């Protein structure tokens, strides 16, 4: 046959990495077991039961009673796209708080849809001041939604949500959040904090491989979708169709990504077994240990203590240290991955994740041992 691969394709290489970067994090062994579980049909009653379980467990993870809670059939980035594709149409104005990479990405998507992204920008590494949001909401007319990133993976900053949620209610704007790096690892109260639309990923604090996007929508968000002037430009991300698929009607929309749904179900069962509070405490404790241990190597945190993410710690590179060379050395000699900086802080910070299964003292001690050996 023509078009043969130029080189022979070897059996799958299996490096046993310790994933301490900005994600993916290490997958829990039970989740690998779920991935390797025999696949049924996507309309099989057994699989439909799996979807019900995922939905119930996601409501627990998000702390919400939202009926419209689901795992979108694509990666976390698709969650961002699905939210805006359904809630924004030509002429809609969205206030986007930008304090890192992913806020910028939101603006790109809004503009592709013909919407207007009003940027409230602060320096990378800072959090958003609710007072600034209040001023924007007062100054500008007809802001349909306020969007921000709860846990900025590019900077390690956790954004307090409650005050901004209250402002959105007051000004009748929808409150949209990206919680890719916070779900299952940081305090997150969708209902209590007045969040209307939230999306996440599976590959951070849930100890599951990347591939799905957990999402939830308040009744206000669902109502806003129902009031659109034009059609939703996407079929694949049309939430009105997806809500029918993720309800008792189970109206066929796509062939479900069955193995990934198995994996997510097991990851969420692990979260529920451990308990959200215990999980959050574990993340906080191990992040504190990391900062303490790195301190003894002369490595200091980048984000301010009061807005520091427990799932992802950014630290300043010690003077004279070569960023890429150290990370390559960690990967090749120790099988440990950590992340470099992005955008304006590239080469200035490292991003060290302790998420889900990776959030364990043994990993903190091993990384610090390796860094000591390389740097000292």
Q: Is 85 in the site for a copy of itself (CB under 8 A)?
A: yes
The residue among 295 and 343 lying less far from a copy of itself, judged by its C-beta, is: 343
Query: Quick one: which of 206, 170, 169, 175 has its CA closest to 190?
Result: 175
Cα gap 180→149, rounded to integer Å: 8
Q: Residue 16 has which token pair?
A: 């046993």
Size of the site for a copy of itself (CB under 8 A): 91
Under DSSP, is residue 341 helix (H, G, I), strand (E, B) or coil? coil
Q: Compute the CA torsion angle 323, 318, 299, 331 (nearest 10 deg).
A: 20
Q: Are 86 and 297 in contact (CB under 8 A)?
A: no
For residue 323, state whether it binds a copy of itself (rule: CB under 8 A). Answer: no
By CB under 8 A, what part of segment 43-82 binds a copy of itself?
44, 46, 49-50, 53, 56-57, 59-60, 62-65, 73-78, 81
- Find the part of the chain contacting a copy of itself (CB under 8 A) among 141-149, 269-277, 283-291, 368-376: 269-277
Q: Does 126 bind a copy of itself (CB under 8 A)?
A: no
**Using CB under 8 A, which of the segments 1-9, 171-179, 282-290, 313-321 binds a copy of itself?**
1-9
Nearer CB in complex with a copy of itself: 41/295: 41
Find, among 224, 216, 174, 214, the residue nearest to 194 by Cα. 174
Taking CB under 8 A as the criterion, which residues in 207-226 touch a copy of itself? 209-211
Which of residues 5 and 319 has its CB atom nearest to a copy of itself in the complex?
Answer: 5
Cα(166)–Cα(111) distance, integer angstroms = 26
Residue ranges in 174-193 that form contacts with a copy of itself under rule CB under 8 A? 191
- Nearest distance, CB of residue 87 and a copy of itself, angstroms: 15
Using CA atoms, how far apart are residues 153 and 249, in angstroms rounded to an integer?
37
Site for a copy of itself in 290-319 (CB under 8 A): none
Q: Which is nearer to a copy of itself, 57 or 294 (CB)?
A: 57
User: For residues 284 and 310, is the Cβ–Cβ distance under 8 A?
Assistant: yes
Print the binding letters for residues 87-116 with a copy of itself: x by CB under 8 A, - otherwise.
------------------x--xx-xxx---
Distance between CA atoms of residues 164 and 162, nearest Å: 6
User: What's the rounded Cα separation, in Å, for the pair 265 and 248?
Assistant: 19
281 binds a copy of itself (CB under 8 A): no
- Contact with a copy of itself (CB under 8 A): which of 83, 94, 133, 260? 260
Question: Any contact of residue 277 with a copy of itself (CB under 8 A)?
Answer: yes
Structure tokens at 347: 């080469």
Which of 134, 220, 228, 269 binds a copy of itself (CB under 8 A)? It is 269
Task: Print the binding letters for residues 227-246 with a copy of itself: x by CB under 8 A, - otherwise.
Answer: ----xxxxxxx---------
Distances (CA, A) of 77 to 74, 128, 260: 8, 22, 16
Distance of CA 343 to the CA centre of its chain: 19
DSSP string of 171-183? Answer: TT-EEEEE-TTTT
Residue 127 or 216: the one with the smaller Cβ distance to a copy of itself is 216
**At its nearest, how many Å lie between a copy of itself and the CB of residue 215?**
14
């Amino acid at each position: 046959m023509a078009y043969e691969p130029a080189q022979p394709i070897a059996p799958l290489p299996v490096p046993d990495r310790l994933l301490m970067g900005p994600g993916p994090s290490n997958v829990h062994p039970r989740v690998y077991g779920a991935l390797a579980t025999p696949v049924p049909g996507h309309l099989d009653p057994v699989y439909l039961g799996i979807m019900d379980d995922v939905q119930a467990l996601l409501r627990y993870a998000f702390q919400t009673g939202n009926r419209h809670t689901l795992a979108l059939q694509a990666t976390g980035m698709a969650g961002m796209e699905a939210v805006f594709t359904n809630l924004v149409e030509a002429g809609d104005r969205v206030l986007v708080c930008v304090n890192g990479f992913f806020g910028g990405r939101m603006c790109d998507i809004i503009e592709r849809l013909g919407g207007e992204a009003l940027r409230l920008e602060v320096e990378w590494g800072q959090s958003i001041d609710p007072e600034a949001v209040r001023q924007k909401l007062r100054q500008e007319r007809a802001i349909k939604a306020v969007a921000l990133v709860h846990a900025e993976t590019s900077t390690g900053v956790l954004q307090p949500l409650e005050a901004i949620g209250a402002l959105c209610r007051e000004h009748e704007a929808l409150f949209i959040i990206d919680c890719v790096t916070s779900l299952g690892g940081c305090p997150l109260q969708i209902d209590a904090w007045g969040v209307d639309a939230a999306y996440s990923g599976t590959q951070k604090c849930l100890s599951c491989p990347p591939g799905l996007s957990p999402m939830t929508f308040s009744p206000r968000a669902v109502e806003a979708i129902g009031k659109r002037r034009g059609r939703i430009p996407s079929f694949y991300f049309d939430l009105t169709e997806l809500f029918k698929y993720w309800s008792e009607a189970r109206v066929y929309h796509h062939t479900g990504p069955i193995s990934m749904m198995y994996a997510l179900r097991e990851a969420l069962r692990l979260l529920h077994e451990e308990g959200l509070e215990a999980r959050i405490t574990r993340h906080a404790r191990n992040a504190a240990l990391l900062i303490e241990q790195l301190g003894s190597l002369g490595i200091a945190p980048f984000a301010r203590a009061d807005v520091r993410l427990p799932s992802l710690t950014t630290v300043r590179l010690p003077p004279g240290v070569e960023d890429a060379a150290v990370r390559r050395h960690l990967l090749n000699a120790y099988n440990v991955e950590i992340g470099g900086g992005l955008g304006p802080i590239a080469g200035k910070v490292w991003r060290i994740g302790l998420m889900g299964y990776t959030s364990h003292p043994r990993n903190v001690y091993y990384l610090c041992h390796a860094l000591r050996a390389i740097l000292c």
